[in-house]
């Protein structure tokens, strides 16, 4: 096995009524003044917000609620949350929602603990995080895996610039995970979540570093589980078995377990980030739209790896040669995304082909003006990135 360091300290409290343990969980980790972040009206309408608030108040905690987090979380709202946290003297941040709310909570926790530094400087890599308020979360969407990850994504809405930040200070202290909280999601939200979970593992699976057999086997089992239960959850959002499997898979897909000993790839995520940052499209849809173009562009760097994926994940064992198996695995993944109603090209994603100028802008943004390359499997310079966007635009 390759060398690795694994650190995943988040306490998981999984099962029915998990959200009602919020107060005691925050007490356990020393919180007394809690800023609660959430998204739209659904948290209040469903009664979830009231149940969590009651749990906090019953524990004797001081509470401030702040709603309004949007998908593709924005820097401007994070700054608003930081100001609120400072004004109330918050010593704990609780997120109620999916990845967007949790990522915002992580940003608020960092910003509130570092009042002399502009929060965006951390996401630009100008400053390193050395402290943050503790964060907890009540998960309502199986997708981003932010409830157990060291990452957080923000979009500078003034410049449409989407960036990610990885730091151990982003790890939540705890995650309260009740699959029943996902029962009210729309089929599109579930399908986007399924895509994101798969891509978190695929972006770790397709790397040039191999020889980690158990890590690969865990990744393959997770993907098979998501492929099996994803369509069930889309068909019936109140299927507890399906939703519980997806919720746990989402957490494991992004806590680094499925990529131990390998270098993170995450080229598809980077390609997708530019689409959601520039056009505001759903994150999961940006990933499914880019999968085929990326995979066909890079698979010949290691066709055996793609063939293994086809055989071990999709159980395609009748292929006559490695190249055919590799390509069939790619196409089977495309068909799976389509079956969930996900876009598999840029015209499907956007409702139109992108213009020549838009494609060049995306490639320039993604390559940081030609100053960085993507991918370890096949390094992608600005020209390669442009070709992939152009192929996805067909």
Contact 199, 333 (CB under 8 A): no
Same domain, 165 and 202: no
Quick one: tokens of 101? 């709310």
Same domain, 173 and 260: no
Same domain, 175 and 318: no
* pLDDT recorded at residue 74: 97
Residue the block writes with tokens 């995979």: 295
Residue 346's pLDDT band (cuts 50, 70, 90)? very high
Residue 263's pLDDT band (cuts 50, 70, 90)? confident
Same domain, 158 and 194: no
* pLDDT recorded at residue 120: 98
Out of 146-155, 222-231, 257-266, which region has the weakest mean confidence (pLDDT)? 257-266
Max Cα separation, the chain? 66
pLDDT at 9 > cutoff 80: yes
- β partners of residue 96: 38, 138
| DSSP at 65 | E
Give the CATH number, domain containing residue 53. Answer: 3.40.50.1970
Considering the domain boundaries, does residue 125 fall inside one? yes
pLDDT at 319 > cutoff 80: no
Same domain, 142 and 277: no
* pLDDT recorded at residue 209: 80
What span, in angstroms and rounded, lies between the C-alpha atoms of 141 and 328? 31
Stated pTM of the model: 0.96
338: nearest Cα among 155, 128, 159, 195: 195
* pLDDT recorded at residue 2: 84
Same domain, 160 and 283: no
Last residue of a domain, one of 127, 161, 181: 181
Considering the domain boundaries, does residue 381 fall inside one? yes
Same domain, 199 and 282: yes
Considering the domain boundaries, does residue 376 fall inside one? yes
Query: Is 168 buried (19+), middle (13-18) or exposed (0-12) by CB count in 10 A?
Result: exposed
Last residue of a domain, one of 123, 149, 181: 181
Same domain, 170 and 248: no
Residue the block writes with tokens 């152009």: 390
* pLDDT recorded at residue 40: 86
Considering the domain boundaries, does residue 150 fall inside one? yes
pLDDT at 276 > cutoff 90: yes
Section 140-167 average pLDDT: 96
* pLDDT recorded at residue 391: 98
Question: What is the per-residue DSSP string for 170-205?
Answer: GS-SEEEE-GGGGTT--HHHHHHHHHHHHHHHHHHH
Considering the domain boundaries, does residue 310 fall inside one? yes
Quick one: tokens of 386? 């442009």
Of 261 and 364, the one with more pLDDT = 364
How many domains, the chain? 2
* pLDDT recorded at residue 1: 83
Quick one: tokens of 280? 């505001």
Considering the domain boundaries, does residue 4 fall inside one? no
User: Could you report the per-residue pLDDT of 19-70, keeping only the tens digit for each?
Assistant: 999 999 999 999 999 999 999 888 999 999 999 999 999 999 999 999 999 9
What span, in angstroms and rounded, lies between the C-alpha atoms of 342 and 191? 7
Helix 382-392 to helix 356-366 angle (10° resolution) is 140
pLDDT at 295 > cutoff 80: yes
Last residue of a domain, one of 149, 166, 181: 181
Express as a percent the part of the chain with pLDDT over 90.
Answer: 94
- The pLDDT mean for the chain works out to 96
Quick one: tokens of 125? 């890599």
Considering the domain boundaries, does residue 45 fall inside one? yes
Same domain, 157 and 120: yes
What span, in angstroms and rounded, lies between the C-alpha atoms of 357 and 284? 24
Query: Is 169 buried (19+), middle (13-18) or exposed (0-12) by CB count in 10 A?
Result: buried
Instruction: Enumerate residues 6+ apart whose C-beta is below 8 A from 54.
Output: none
Same domain, 96 and 153: yes
Contact 71, 80 (CB under 8 A): no
105: nearest Cα among 129, 84, 73, 135: 135
Give the CATH number, domain containing residue 290. Answer: 1.20.1090.10
User: Could you report the per-residue pLDDT of 182-235, keeping only the tens digit for each?
Assistant: 999 999 999 999 999 999 999 999 988 878 899 999 999 999 999 999 999 999
| H helix runs in the chain, sequence order | 22-28, 42-45, 48-58, 75-88, 99-113, 119-123, 187-205, 213-235, 240-253, 267-279, 283-298, 303-312, 322-339, 346-350, 356-366, 382-392
Same domain, 194 and 157: no
HSE of 368, CA atoms in CB hemisphere, 13 A: 8
Same domain, 319 and 339: yes
Residue the block writes with tokens 């198996």: 325
Considering the domain boundaries, does residue 165 fall inside one? yes
Q: What are phi and psi of 164, to 5 degrees?
A: -115, 150
pLDDT at 354 > cutoff 80: yes
Range of the domain at 251: 187-392
User: Could you report the per-residue pLDDT of 228-257, keeping only the tens digit for each?
Assistant: 999 999 999 999 999 999 999 999 999 999
* pLDDT recorded at residue 88: 98
pLDDT at 297 > cutoff 80: yes
């Amino acid at each position: 096995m390759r060398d690795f360091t694994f650190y995943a300290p988040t306490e998981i409290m999984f099962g029915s009524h998990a959200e009602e343990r919020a107060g005691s969980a925050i007490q356990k980790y020393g919180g007394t003044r809690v800023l609660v972040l959430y998204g739209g009206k659904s948290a209040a309408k469903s009664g979830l917000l009231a149940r969590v608030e009651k749990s906090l108040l019953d524990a004797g905690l001081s509470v401030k609620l702040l709603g309004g987090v949007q998908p593709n979380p924005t820097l401007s709202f994070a700054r608003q949350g930081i100001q609120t946290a400072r004004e109330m003297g918050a010593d704990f941040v609780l997120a109620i929602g999916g990845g967007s709310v949790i990522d915002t909570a992580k940003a608020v926790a960092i910003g509130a603990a570092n009042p002399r530094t502009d929060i965006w400087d951390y996401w630009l890599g100008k400053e390193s995080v050395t402290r943050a308020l503790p964060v907890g979360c009540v998960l309502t969407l199986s997708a981003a895996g932010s409830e157990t990850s060291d990452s957080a994504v923000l979009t500078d809405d003034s410049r449409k610039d989407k960036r990610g930040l990885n730091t151990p200070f982003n790890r939540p202290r705890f995650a309260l995970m009740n699959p029943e909280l996902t029962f009210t999601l729309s089929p599109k939200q579930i399908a986007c979540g399924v895509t994101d979970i798969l891509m978190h593992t695929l972006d770790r699976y397709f790397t040039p570093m191999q020889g980690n057999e158990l890590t690969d086997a865990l990744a393959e089992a997770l993907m098979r589980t998501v492929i099996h239960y994803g369509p069930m959850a889309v068909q019936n959002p109140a299927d507890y078995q399906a939703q519980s499997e997806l919720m746990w898979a989402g957490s494991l897909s992004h806590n680094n377990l499925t990529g131990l000993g390998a270098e993170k790839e995450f080229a598809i995520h980077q390609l997708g980030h530019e689409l959601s940052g520039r056009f505001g499209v759903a994150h999961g849809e940006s990933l499914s739209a880019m999968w085929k173009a990326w995979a066909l562009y890079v698979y010949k760097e290691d066709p055996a790896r793609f063939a293994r994926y086809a055989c071990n994940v999709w159980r395609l064992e009748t292929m006559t040669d490695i190249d055919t198996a590799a390509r069939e695995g790619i196409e089977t993944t495309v068909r799976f995304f389509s079956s969930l109603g996900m876009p598999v090209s840029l015209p499907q994603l956007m409702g139109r082909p992108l213009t020549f100028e838009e494609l060049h802008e995306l490639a320039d943004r993604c390559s940081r003006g030609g100053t960085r390359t993507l991918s370890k499997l096949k390094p992608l310079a600005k020209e390669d990135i442009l070709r992939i966007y152009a192929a996805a635009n067909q």
